[in-house]
Amino acid sequence: MAQTERPRIVSVEDDADVQDVLRGWLTPHFDFILMKDGEELLEDIEELDPDLVMLDIGLPGPDGLRLCQRLRHTPGLAEVPILIFTGRDDDEAFVSSLDAGASSFLLKPVDKETLLDKIEELIGPL
């Protein structure tokens, strides 16, 4: 898949409302690719060549933590920043995310500026 000049973010999110919000917030700034499940991500990730991967923990199929672990063990993707973006507000989710290899963690709901600031922190200025 051809990469544009803009940074590419690949997000796996199964909630349609969250998908719509992310698409609206991120498409103006990034080459934004949205997937509904982890199987799709695992099939296409190497072709996608992301600058950042955003994962929800509670996904159908392989959950975000398993996907994070898989990406960390995939040559060429081990150094790509991974942002866990979840509604699970507990210490276990945070610690499990870091243990799985996540670069950072954000709780839903989040406002646009907080999300964009976190992305900038992970991949550089917009």
What are the residue ranges spanned by the domains of the chain? 8-123
DSSP per position, the chain = ----SSPEEEEE---HHHHHHHHHHHTTTSEEEEESSHHHHHHHHHHH--SEEEE-SS-SSS-HHHHHHHHHTSTTTTTS-EEEEES--SHHHHHHHHHHT-SEEEESS--HHHHHHHHHHHH---
**Tens digits of residue pLDDT in 7-48:** 999 999 988 899 999 999 999 999 999 998 888 888 888 889
- Which of 2 and 97 is assigned the larger pLDDT? 97
How much is the pLDDT for 37?
A: 86
> Is 73's pLDDT higher than 60?
yes
Q: Does domain 8-123 have CATH number 3.40.50.2300?
A: yes
Single pTM value for the model: 0.90
